[in-house]
Amino acid sequence: MTTPPLIEFSRVSKIYGRGEASIRALDHVDLAIREHEFVAIMGPSGSGKSTAMNILGCLDVPSAGDYLFQGISTTGFDRAQLTMLRRHMLGFVFQGFNLLPRTSAVENVELPLIYRGMPAADRHRLAKEALGLVGLGGREHHKTQELSGGQQQRVAIARAIVTRPSLLLADEPTGNLDTKTSIEIMDLMTRLNREQGITIVMVTHEPDIAAYAQRLLRFVDGKLETETAHQGRAGHVS
């Protein structure tokens, strides 16, 4: 039996507002992403890419169609069920890092595990392991303001993967970083995908960043216009 895609849109539409004021942000979109893929999403402002990411992250729901996670329809999930799916299956990385400012790196990474009710010793161990994976071993007790922008994004990535999610969603993860640091972060994400098997879906407006992915989805006017497959760039972070 063929394994279903990790995530799948089946004729997904999203409409905001009513009547003549309504906006169709997504228009009957079909897409499928399998485990261990690294996929980039691009498109102009208003194309629907952010709406698609919000639905993938269970932060929003379709107006029509179906979003399936591991072959299971999420249609009809209530708020508590969507929260549980986010908490246990998804990791998020944002452009703005979203770290607690006067808190250490390890405490920031532990945060999702606190929500799960994990004992302190266990969450501290897993947080240190996650920081090691992103190249921040030995900086566990540095406060956020003591870290560079690139290091802060590494902490944010560690926080996203500490729960060992099935899917990592990255929204403009290099948007606040310079070119050199952006390359370092993308090499890291490539390594996490290839060596740790983490499925990654990333929104970006930069073609050079999208080139790291194995597949590119381009949205235009709420529709998935093109899909392009390529090898992606090889990471070289040690």
pLDDT per residue as tens digits for the range 30-76: 999 999 999 999 999 999 999 999 999 999 999 999 999 999 999 99
Please state the domain count of the chain. 1
Are β-strands 223-229 and 215-220 bridged in parallel, bridged antiparallel, or unpaired?
Answer: antiparallel
Instruction: List, in sequence order, every beta strand (DSSP E) within 149-222.
Output: 167-171, 199-203, 215-220
Judge whether 115 lies within some domain: yes
Judge whether 236 lies within some domain: no
Per the CB < 8 A criterion, the answer to whether 213 and 197 are in contact is no
Quick one: pLDDT at residue 209? 96
Quick one: pLDDT at residue 58? 95
Judge whether 83 lies within some domain: yes
Judge whether 235 lies within some domain: no
Judge whether 51 lies within some domain: yes
Judge whether 234 lies within some domain: no
Residue 236 has pLDDT above 50, yes or no: no
Residue 168 has pLDDT above 60, yes or no: yes
What mean pLDDT value characterizes the chain?
A: 92
Judge whether 1 lies within some domain: no
Residue 40 belongs to domain spanning: 7-229
Judge whether 238 lies within some domain: no
CATH number at residue 80: 3.40.50.300
